[in-house]
Amino acid sequence: MVICSNKRIVHSTGVKHQGATSQHYSPTKVMCLKITYNCFLVSSGIILVPDKGVGVSAVIMDGKAISKEIQTEITQEVAQFVEQAGITPCLAAVLVGDDPASEVYVRNKHRACERVGITSQMHKLPASTTQKELLTLINQLNLANDVHGILIQLPLPEGIDTLLVLDAVDPRKDVDAFHPENVGLISQGRPRFLPCTPHGVQQILDRCGIEMSGKHVVIVGRSDIVGKPMSMLLTARNSTRGPQAANATVTLCHSRTRNLPEVCRSADVIVAAIGVAKFITADMVKPGAAVVDVGINRTEEGLCGDVDFEKVREVAGHITPVPGGVGPLTVTMLMYNTLDAAKLFAGR
């Protein structure tokens, strides 16, 4: 197995197979770099998939380790900010109802705050909370000088207009970057806050040494939380990590995309955020491509991503696991935004 955590790449067994070129294949079984590949003819050309059991395996992009490293950086920055500004950053999390998954996410966010030196408030409201009551709480948090970031955990219970509620958050405290003003700023390449999950994906790829500039990235899923903002971050001219982590050519795919497997096979990088367990299969991945799995699906077999990990790892060059891939980064980038929100407040 090969593990990657922020450019430290440890090879134990296996041979990388990114050198497959057109000279190396014949119509059926082919040998490339001493590895046997299965050769598939598809309309766009030929796909080489390594034979089972050859010991070829993608570099695992270790989101947990990368997240820990970024949290160490944030902890130092928070301490410095507290000393200079005399303000401790504070995140207010609002959880409505008793969705067990949301409770876990909010608890993880609370623990991360503690680790990096950010204060957190937890506002847990019953499922019976009315929209008016929720809006009243948001207004109070908007006005509170000791609250710098506000997070409304989604999904909200039925009967509450999610967009109306998210629009009510002061955009200067909108650490999820869901407010239309913040989405607009991102689309114009002058972000106030960066959306947590897409920013986390960008951090993982860059810290694993995968350049985005000029690459073809296929994003599968057009959600407002991941797919759409991911496309904006990767097509921007610059990023928090420099221009090499942006400037990609992005194809944003969705349920109506024609020839999805073929589009995916043309990708140097696939970001899977469709919400369907094991949706991305090995035949959809170009050998050597980087595959980032944003999915968290609860199945009978347990937690599972949008990527068929065991099969795809035999084809991809880099891959994130689920759990332990993108998830930890989402929480960490929220800490990053809360510190930024406190800095904004200090500069008002």
Catalytic position from the list 71, 153, 202, 203: 153
- Cα-Cα-Cα-Cα torsion 286, 290, 295, 299, nearest 10 degrees, comes to 60
Interaction residues for ligand GUN, span 282-341 (CB under 6 A):
330
Cα of first residue to Cα of last residue in the chain, in angstroms, is: 50
Catalytic position from the list 62, 109, 206, 215: 109
Q: What is the C-alpha separation between 22 and 40, in angstroms, rounded? A: 13
Q: What is the C-alpha separation between 178 and 155, in angstroms, rounded? A: 13
**Residue number closest to ligand GUN, CB atom:** 154
Q: What is the C-alpha separation between 322 and 79, in angstroms, rounded? A: 32
Stretch that binds ligand GUN, among 28-36, 131-139, 149-157, 214-222 (CB under 6 A): 149-157
Q: Is 176 in the site for ligand GUN (CB under 6 A)?
A: yes
Interaction residues for ligand GUN, span 215-244 (CB under 6 A):
225
Q: Is 154 in the site for ligand GUN (CB under 6 A)?
A: yes
Q: Is 151 in the site for ligand GUN (CB under 6 A)?
A: yes
Binding-site residue total for ligand GUN (CB under 6 A)? 9
Among this protein's residues, is 109 annotated catalytic? yes
Whichever of 129 and 330 has its CB closer to ligand GUN, that residue is 330
Q: What is the DSSP secondary-structure string of 3-25?
A: EEETTEEEE-S----TT--GGG-
Q: What is the C-alpha separation between 100 and 260, in angstroms, rounded? A: 33
Selected from 6, 67, 153, 332, the binder of ligand GUN by CB under 6 A is: 153
Using CB atoms within 10 Å of the CB of residue 185, give its burial: 0 to 12 exposed, 13 to 18 middle, 19+ buried.
middle
Selected from 197, 239, 247, 338, the binder of ligand GUN by CB under 6 A is: 197
Q: Is 48 in the site for ligand GUN (CB under 6 A)?
A: no
Catalytic position from the list 71, 173, 174, 176: 176
Q: What is the DSSP secondary-structure string of 176-207?
A: T--SHHHHHHHHTT--SS--HHHHHHHHHHHH
Selected from 150, 152, 289, 341, the binder of ligand GUN by CB under 6 A is: 152
DSSP SS3 for 230: helix
Q: What share of the chain is helix, strand, coil (3-state, %, to 5)?
A: 40, 20, 40
State in angstroms the smallest separation of the CB of 95 from ligand GUN: 10
State in angstroms the smallest separation of the CB of 106 from ligand GUN: 9
Write out the E strands in 146-266: 149-152, 216-220, 249-253
Stretch that binds ligand GUN, among 129-137, 152-160, 232-240, 269-277 (CB under 6 A): 152-160
Selected from 134, 196, 263, 333, the binder of ligand GUN by CB under 6 A is: 196
Query: Which residues are part of the catalytic machinery?
Result: 109, 153, 176
Contact residues for ligand GUN (CB under 6 A)? 151-154, 176, 196-197, 225, 330
